[in-house]
Amino acid sequence: MVKIFSCFSRMLLLLLARCVVTESVDPGLIAFNAKPVLGIHLGSSYGTVVAYFPNGTFLNIAKVDGTPSYINFVRREMNKRQPSLWNQNRHDQYGRERFVWLKKLFGIPTWTEILTEMLLPLRQAAEVALGSPLQREVSITVPGMQTWITYGTGEFIVNPAARLSGIQPSINDIRGPIYNPEVNAVLAANGHYLCLEDWCLWPEGYIDIDRSTMIYYISITNSAVYTTIIEMSCLGYNGPGYVPGNIELLSKFETGTNASAPALDKLEAFLRSKLTRLCTPKTCWPDDEYLVVFTGEAASKPGYVSVMENVVDSMRQDKQFKDGKIELLISEDPIYDAAKGTAIWARMVSGGFNCSSYDRENDRQDSWDPPEAWSGRDEL
């Protein structure tokens, strides 16, 4: 599709403007497929929005690059260590905004303003592409979603900024403590671990999640490297082996997505050492299965793909992983995949998935291709 570059002024917030990369839209697609669901990804360096239509078609609507304030905010949130992650008052300061007046006095944006200046152009781009105001709740995913939950209230800390931006966020509590972290969304967009048996058979024949695959997740953008390792879980859940991720600024490696050979060697050494720190003998067993997931802007660059292949080869030669099956998954749409995955989740929880076609005899179906059409409890 032809790229259209348009700029959305945000004088209301911080008198900042940023170019939004949007896709051209086929009017016939909009007219024929009314009421799509939307997925938004607030990533380590940029935000994206995707529309998912009832016929199974995705539309990549827009990508918005993060400001330095946004990138630093996300990095701070993800890099906060235990035990503050589990402290019920961890985000109490956000809820009360105790220092708003002081920040405004010195011209420092609050966390709400930082997130709003990302969400507002995403919402505007979606409305322009779809030709109407947003009619439905929007599913939003972020890196390490547990980190963004206020445990005193269960409130997702992005929600106030979303509402201020004119977005009604979806509530991910249909079946208890359900979250939709970035890792799960990327896996779902690539057809992995939707766990349709758990969804379609619940609650009558609910199957407990019992998997033995560890995910080494690596997202590399133009400005940051996000790494984490988690035990595989279905879309909408955090795995029992969840480990808070970590975001490093890419300047640490003196490189960008067009990196030199020495810079790539330095990155490879970092990713190997990171795996050693994250995957200890207590958390990773020799006979576990391992899936190395590579996404982000760099996932389409041959040099970076070679780095990932080398990391996987080193794992296969490491005695800690020698008895396990190790595979590499390179995302098919590395910029928009997380937004697509959370849009799939939005379609499922809104009743748009037709379980009548699900093979109930096959109670361990872990991958899935989107059907040609959806049907559900309401018109979507």
pLDDT in tens, 160-213: 888 889 998 876 554 444 456 888 899 989 988 777 766 666 655 454 555 568
User: Under DSSP, is residue 159 helix (H, G, I), strand (E, B) or coil?
Assistant: helix
Going by C-alpha positions, the residue among 91, 182, 189, 180 that lies closest to residue 143 is 182
97 domain-assigned: no
346 domain-assigned: yes
Which pLDDT score, from 0 to 100, does residue 90 have? Answer: 44
3 domain-assigned: no
Kind of pairing between the strands at 138-141 and 37-42: parallel
Residue range 319-323: mean pLDDT, rounded: 77
User: For residue 338, what pLDDT band results from cuts at 50, 70 and 90?
Assistant: very high
pLDDT tens for each residue of 52-80: 988 888 999 999 999 999 998 888 877 76
**128 pLDDT above the threshold of 90:** yes
Could you give phi then psi for residue 280, rounded to 5 degrees?
-85, 165
Which pLDDT score, from 0 to 100, does residue 355 have? Answer: 64
Range of the domain at 221: 37-85+103-359
164 domain-assigned: yes
378 domain-assigned: no
pLDDT tens for each residue of 81-118: 443 333 334 444 444 455 555 566 666 677 888 999 99
Give the number of other Cβ atoms within 10 Å of residue 55's Cβ.
14
Distances in whole angstroms, Cα of residue 127 to Cα of each of 58, 136, 239: 16, 12, 34
Any idea which of 91-95, 256-260, 324-328, 356-360 has the lowest mean pLDDT? 91-95
pLDDT tens for each residue of 282-317: 777 777 788 999 999 999 899 999 999 999 999 988
Could you give phi then psi for residue 37, rounded to 5 degrees?
-95, 155
CA angle 210, 213, 214 (to 5 degrees): 125
Mean pLDDT of the chain: 73
Which pLDDT score, from 0 to 100, does residue 160 have? Answer: 85
Which pLDDT score, from 0 to 100, does residue 352 have? Answer: 61
Going by C-alpha positions, the residue among 63, 27, 19 that lies closest to residue 43 is 63
126 domain-assigned: yes
331 domain-assigned: yes
114 domain-assigned: yes
The count of domains in the chain is: 1
Percent of the chain clearing pLDDT 70 (strictly above): 60
